[in-house]
A and B are shown apart, each in its own frame.
Chain A
Amino acid sequence: MKNLFKLSPTSQRQLQRFRSIKRGYYSLVILAIVLVLTIFAELWINNRALVVSYKGELYFPTYSAVIPAKTFDQKIGTGDEETDYRKLQASFKENKSNYVIMPFVPFGKSEQHKVKDKEWPLAPGDGHWLGTDEQGRDVVSQLVYGFRIAFFYSFLVLVLTYVLGVFIGCLMGFWGGWFDLLFQRVIEIWSNIPYLYAIMIVVSLVGTTFTNLVVISVFFGWTGMTWYMRTATYKEKSRDYVMAAKALGASDMRIIIKHIIPNTITLIITFAPFALAGGITGLTALDFLGFGISAENPSWGDLLKQGMDYLDDAYWIGASIISAMTLILVLVTFIGEAVREAFDPKKHTYYE
């Protein structure tokens, strides 16, 4: 087990160097915290209570099945519908034995909060720190849940495009010859298709679900990494260690996976943060144009569009989303810069 976590001296040095670049390091820490928080967003942004104590029994509605209102003798509708925990909390005020603990932000991601005699979008107040959007949904919840979707979309696209791009790029560089020539032409053509346009057209045909969008984005986006990997592989191929591996009878796949990719990992890692940021902005752009996954989900693009629509009337929408985007993109860029610097081959070049 110990060996698994033991890094090579080079990697250790690179990590040390990264840690010493404070700006990037702290950005990574902040982003990691944000990510963990968004993964468990249901626990702190939700219209379902964390804990309800009613008649001596404890309930934990966050991740459980829907608890109908009649369980708590709440009188709304027919009683079969979901409990309104905010109202429940208010009604328990007098009765000390029953209590409700609500999350930090007591609004759900798709909940439309009605306030008497007020029109959507609600200005900050009424429990909404950043107000609501035009559908009465809490802007904080939209930001957090929207970020979660955008981040995971971007991450998935990144991983899949990298696996495909790195693999094909390596093969092109390693095999060369007609395979290289053929794929060069294919990729030239492929990368000339306007990315966002192509996605929009296909999405409008097949419908906008998360999986569809990921698959389509990968389908049109895998070419980016191939050029770099091809060149890097050509370079590595002529090194002695590849020759040695070949002489020992290693298969092509083994050489690529065990020898070439680990030696070009720097390249892959330094591009990753920027690709991640690109993915987030890409999805936001798609949502903004109405081709994203906005119909059912909170989304940054949708917020951005509302921000533009309500520029003079509801500044809080535009201000929140633009600040959030700037913050995340700045963090990612800082990390990316730090990674690039830490992995700079000019600082640690070792020939084997």
Chain B
Amino acid sequence: MKKIYIISLTTMVLGAILSVLVSMSIQSNEQKNKNVAAILTPDSPIEEIPKKEIPEKLEWITNTDFPEIGSSEAKKGGLLQMFMLNFPQTFRVVGPNSNTQFRSYILGNKMSLVTYHPYTKEIIPQLATHWAFGADQKTVYFKLDKDARWSDGRAVTAHDYLYILKFMRSKHINAPWYNNYYTEQITDISAYDNYTISITTKDRKPKDELIYTLAAGPIPAHYYGELDENWERDYNWAIAPNTGPYQISEYKKGKYVILERKKNWWAAKKKANKNLYNVDRVIYKVIRNEAIAYVYFKKGELDYFPIVKPKWWHGKAKGPLYDNGLVVKHWFYITVPEGVGGLFFNLDHALLKDKDIRQGIAHSINMDGMIADVLKNDYLRMQRFTEGFEKYDFPDIEARVFDLTKADEFFNKAGFDKRNEDGVRINKEGVKLSFKVNFGAESHLPRLAYLREEAKKAGLELVLEQLDPVTNYRKISTKDHEICWVKFGGGGLKPRYRQFFHSSFASKPDNNNLCNVNDPELDKLIEAYREEFDEKKSQDLCEKIQRRIYEICPIVYSYSVPYHRSAYWKYWRFPKIAAAKSSTELFDPFLGGGAFWLDQEEKEKTKLDKVLGVDGEPKVIIDKMFKPGQKK
């Protein structure tokens, strides 16, 4: 009995000590948070940077002659109600846990030196008024706008740019990728006076790509000051000063975040921002489930709901709200560089290294039928390796289509001219024409099952192998697959081929040459393309590469989704061009978007209509202005 007493006593004592320790550490945390005070206040004087001569003669460029983005009819005011599935784990934009959906809303209010016009894609000024290219093809010079202000009122100066390197190279931000990028790729940022800077990158690049890489946004030096090891924790919920049109004004963890339009935003009068950023406040409500969010939307507690998926656009977005035109359905085509997707052959496989077999398979895959029957004809067939790079797109290169006669020819040529009792082709040695197809997304099973059933007709057996995404990724990156079903992310200014097709990556793990393409001719073209800075020659090389890829036939392309689709209440108004050419959603209230506005009168009327009932016409808008050129 005594033993029990001793044990319980010890446990209690230990527990007490532990709880005291825990509470102490929490306290010290709180104190640290309170210590987060700006190193410099917004009003402290700005140190003058000694004037330096710019080492070369520059030709300063600016752009004031671009079409206005907003509509003159736009009215200011109102609230935009949006939802997000999770509350962000932090308001930091670098460091652990910062890669959240909400991050893009914070970055949406972080201005860059220059930006792209949303419709014409030309370069327009943002924080810089003028820019100039250095002769080394690595450096760009910028003249900063003297009007630019942080949200706390302090002027944006060269200090805030010089600070980028200090900040991004700091170990304390705990972001190795950025540490590396701002050391290896961005090699230098220099100031020539308080309002003139230059940024230098490691590799030579053509002008458009160079400025795309270097037009960074400043980081408020006065706000962060010297970083220390507690930075990550101390700044978790800090609302850093920004330069854009909105700033976080209120939030409740796990519930919502409100961003408010700045009353005296420094750039409000600039041409690029005229009639934009119209709503006064944007609220992001945390709703953890799509279906529930849709109920909120139908009640009018959300203004917009994304209905991109066929299931939503064709299926669930129905009913009186739509029939009477209270809610508008808007299908908006975009032009963006689409990531490649499809069935990737492993060219190291004994059968797949035969080009005839690859071409035979390409003609046995009924991708168009799948898009029609499974995806309800909503997606477009991907025609070639890179799509959506306007200047680097070659619409006459088209994907191979489902054609049993052609498949038959190619398979016969490869020696697979007989069929076994299951109807699968075999060659003389009795080898079956059968391949494993790896995939990771369970929801893609219906798509692949369709392709498998259709391929049977050609005597081709596809064995679907669904793995969980991590295992699948490992299998693919070790090139252990026969055929894999993959879709890459898109983006960039110019198509990139080296990582996908250069022989230096073939038959080695952990790279993007999933097909193990090893073609000397293609290698030569890729290397030449990489070294070429002239746009026209670059385009020619690009076309040659595309044609060579077509000949090699390493991939059966799947589909592209060049649009977004939304449902919104009828009181929202848009300019003639509703959104940017490369927008990701219709309601992007921040930089790069923000052209829409709220019609208050209509909103009041809609509220009544909803109660009293109204007989309206359904409103469905299909906006094809930016539909990518597809040859039919």
Contact = CB atoms under 8 A, between A and B. Distances in A.
Interface string B456-471: 1111000111111011
Interface in B22-44: none
B445 A294 contact: yes
Contacts of A110: 449, 453
A68 B453 contact: no
B459 A81 contact: yes
Contacts of A80: 408, 419, 459
A207 B466 CA distance: 8
Contact of B373 (A114, A208, A295, A309): A114
Interface in A303-334: 309, 312-313
Interface of A: 64-66, 68, 77-78, 80-82, 110-112, 114, 119-120, 134-136, 204-205, 207-208, 290, 294-296, 309, 312-313
B274 to A, nearest CB: 45
Given A68-B423, A112-B450, A205-B471, A296 B374 contact: no
B373 to A, nearest CB: 6
5 contacts: A114-B373, A134-B446, A135-B449, A136-B373, A313-B315
A295 B423 CA distance: 21
B453 A78 contact: no
B197 interface: no
Contacts of B468: 204
A66 B422 contact: yes
A112 B373 contact: yes
Nearest to A118: B373
Contacts of A119: 314, 376
A120 B373 contact: yes
Contact of A135 (B446, B457, B464): B446
A77 B457 CA distance: 8
B483 to A, nearest CB: 14
Contacts of A295: 445, 464-466
A95 to B, nearest CB: 25
Given A66-B421, A77-B404, A82-B423, A207 B467 contact: yes
A81 B445 contact: no
Contacts of A134: 446
Nearest to A112: B453
A92 B459 CA distance: 26
A290 B458 CA distance: 29
B466 A208 contact: yes
Interface centre among A81, A110, A309, A312 (most CB of B within 10 A): A81
Interface centre among A64, A80, A81 (most CB of B within 10 A): A80
Task: Please classify the interface of chain B as helix (H, G, I), strand (E, B), loop, or mixed, using the class held by over half of its residues.
Answer: helix
B204 interface: no
Contacts of A205: 471
Interface in B187-207: none
B405 interface: yes
Interface in B349-399: 373-374, 376
Contact of B404 (A81, A290, A294, A296): A81
B65 interface: no
A134 B446 CA distance: 8
Q: Which 6 A-B pairs have the closest CB atoms?
A: A65-B421, A66-B423, A204-B468, A81-B457, A295-B466, A77-B404
Contact of B449 (A78, A112, A290): A112
Given A110-B449, A112-B373, A204-B468, 5 more contacts: A81-B459, A112-B453, A290-B466, A295-B445, A312-B316
Contact of A204 (B420, B459, B465, B471): B471
A229 to B, nearest CB: 36
Contacts of A309: 311
Classify chain B: how many residues form its interface, as a range: 20 to 34
B446 A78 contact: no
Nearest to A200: B468
Interface in B454-496: 456-459, 463-468, 470-471
Contacts of B315: 313
B48 interface: no
A296 B464 contact: yes
B456 to A, nearest CB: 7
B442 interface: yes
Contacts of B450: 112, 135
A119 B376 CA distance: 7
A44 to B, nearest CB: 21
Contact of B456 (A82, A120, A208, A313): A82
Contacts of B373: 112, 114, 120, 136
A68 B464 CA distance: 24
Contact of A78 (B404, B423, B442, B471): B404
Nearest to A69: B457
Contact of A81 (B311, B316, B376, B456): B456
B355 to A, nearest CB: 21
B482 to A, nearest CB: 14
Contacts of B467: 204, 207
Nearest to A64: B421
B535 to A, nearest CB: 45
B228 to A, nearest CB: 41
Interface in B259-308: none
A82 B373 CA distance: 21
A294 B465 CA distance: 10
Interface centre among A78, A82, A296 (most CB of B within 10 A): A78
Contacts of B423: 65-66, 68, 81-82
A109 to B, nearest CB: 11
Nearest to B405: A78
B132 to A, nearest CB: 55
A81 B466 contact: no
A222 to B, nearest CB: 25
A111 B453 contact: yes
B459 to A, nearest CB: 6
A81 to B, nearest CB: 4
B492 to A, nearest CB: 33
A120 B459 contact: no
Nearest to A136: B373
Nearest to B448: A295
Contacts of B314: 119
Nearest to B459: A80
Nearest to B370: A112
A111 B457 CA distance: 12
A66 B424 CA distance: 9
Contact of B422 (A65, A78, A136, A296): A65
Nearest to A84: B457
Interface in B405-449: 405, 408, 419-423, 442, 445-446, 449
A108 to B, nearest CB: 9
A182 to B, nearest CB: 27
A312 B311 CA distance: 12
Contacts of B442: 290
A205 B468 CA distance: 8
Given A112-B450, A119-B314, A120-B374, A68 B419 contact: yes
Contact of B465 (A114, A120, A207): A207
Contacts of B420: 65
B404 A135 contact: no
B371 to A, nearest CB: 13
Nearest to B314: A119
Contacts of B459: 80-81
A80 B424 CA distance: 10
Interface in B216-234: none
A112 B423 CA distance: 18
B443 to A, nearest CB: 9
A136 B454 CA distance: 13
A352 B512 CA distance: 75
Contacts of B422: 65-66
Contacts of A120: 373-374
A112 B464 CA distance: 16
Nearest to A290: B442
Interface centre among B422, B468, B470 (most CB of A within 10 A): B468
Contacts of A136: 373
Nearest to B406: A78
